[in-house]
Amino acid sequence: MSLFASRETRILFNQRVPLRDGVTLSADVYLPSEPAKGKWPVILMRTPYQKASNATAAMAMDFNRHGYVFVAVDVRGRGDSDGTFTPYRNEGPDGYDTIEWCAAQPWSDGKVGTIGGSYPGRIQWLAALEQPPHLKTMIVSVAPSDPFVETPTGLPSPMHLCWLHLVSGRVNQPMETINWEEVYQHLPLLTMDEQTGRVIEAWRAEIAHPQLDDYWQPLCYQKKFDRVNLPVLHISGWYDDEQIGTPLNYIGMTTTGAPAARDKQRLLMGPWGHNVNGASKLGEVDFGSQAIIDLRAEQVRWFDRWLKGIEHNDAPVRIFIMGDNVWRDEQEWPLARTRWTPYYLHSQGKANSRFGDGVLTPEKPADNQPQDTYTYDPARPVPFMTEPTSSQIGGPDDYSAILRRDDVLVYTTEPLTEDVEVVGPIRVELYAASSAPDTDFNAMLIDVWPNGFRQRLCDGMVRARFREGMEQPSLIEPGRVYQYTIDCWNTSQVFKQGHRICLMLSSSAFPKYDRNLNTGAPLGQTTEMAVAEQRIYHDAEHPSAIILPIIPR
């Protein structure tokens, strides 16, 4: 049956939304058709991905059936909207003007909620900071974080260029026409855009600002939650490649948001990638029959609560427990009953590869443990397993082959005698020295199955020059031991009996992160490389460890 066979929707195409600077945006308005005339609460989605799609129409009609007007808008410079698209730069004021336009229309009852994921998620936050009076609630999915939270190297991920190519021009550009693996190899990073056949000004502007400075401040929202007095439904997946932002936003709103909004937040985390609720199987791992939920019903319940006043008593946190493959309701995030447990690194100096002697235990290391060493050559970086486009960066992939390399260190527990539940933020406290004036350290948490499958769970990166924050870069003294904290994001995994907990350390994860060339030169501008000799310490004075949020079973 045709998508448009429904009698429950009337559509007003290409309605023009005037902005304060004279630019107009294009809006498609989906109206409930019964009664023929009326006023309804409005759900607004602003997107750079072209509002005119069957997927958007299907979502709009779902909300129409539940008594909502749905408004889909092309952002400035994209699709049928006027103006020039500059990622994120106009989205706060443009969002304010669009929300207030929706509230003033004859079919609106004056209450507006917003919805969207990824770019349409982050721009909801930028609009909320403008405090439009008729915005009542938001559903934000897989929202990117502030600059450098996801890529704390001072530079955009090489794979970000794929996205910038996609949104070049007014319509989506085909990503499959470009050999991205070849593009990512190009140096210097500054001119990598030319390998796509175009010069992309946004790419060059980002590389010109390799630290958190005034250029980035208009795009920051995660330290401004005190200006947001809204109920928010936060949605992401454990394998979302921008996952780190969603739990941080929930924590931010429940602790530093406007006081009246702090108890009006909800967090929903599934076993999903960036395309939330898309399939029960991701990569080689099937998360079972419960992995897919009626997400539309969750969204409708949220809007019913905050746009129609229909009460419900849903738990503030609902998370999927991988390994057990079940959903569980919780009252907070991180969980109050968490036991923050260090698992310390041990070896006799030969932890290189999965065939080495690296061990992970809760016992602190002794005084006489030798250091582990490896060589990091940026011309031969450790691969991060992913498809070449930026649609989904990584997943529950098998790292068995990667762990054969001598330029990775591997620390693994004995087979577990009982299930161990790890749910929450993961971090690594690492003591390390390098022969280079600047270098990187990467950490990855892995579940080793009895059959040898080594499932990536989560990972993170630290760049030595940014060890004290993205605002104040400083090079390191070669040979000196420094303590580094590596944020490995979050996971929710039951390591089953017989499995082993594994930590992999390296100095690259390419192309998820750009390669550190080890020279200390200005970032993104040069091609010269140097080989770095890395030394990892784990003794009584330098107790390197991964801190696991263990939940009592």
Active site residues: 118, 240, 274
The answer to whether 199 and 191 have CB atoms below 8 angstroms apart is no
In angstroms, what CA-CA distances link 214 with 107, 210, 220, 400? Answer: 41, 11, 10, 43
The answer to whether 321 and 423 have CB atoms below 8 angstroms apart is yes
Give me the phi and psi of 431, to 5 degrees please.
Answer: -105, 120
The answer to whether 162 and 180 have CB atoms below 8 angstroms apart is yes
The answer to whether 202 and 119 have CB atoms below 8 angstroms apart is no
Residue 187: CB atoms within 10 A of its CB come to 18
Residues β-bridged to residue 327? 320
Residues 6+ apart with CB under 8 A from 101: 17, 18
Q: What is the DSSP string of 180-228?
A: HHHHHT-SSGGGGGGGGTS--HHHHHHHT--SS-TTTGGG--TT-GGG-
Rounded-to-integer distance, Cα 192 and Cα 186, Å = 6
Rounded-to-integer distance, Cα 504 and Cα 48, Å = 37
Strand, coil or helix: 346 = strand
Rounded-to-integer distance, Cα 401 and Cα 353, Å = 10
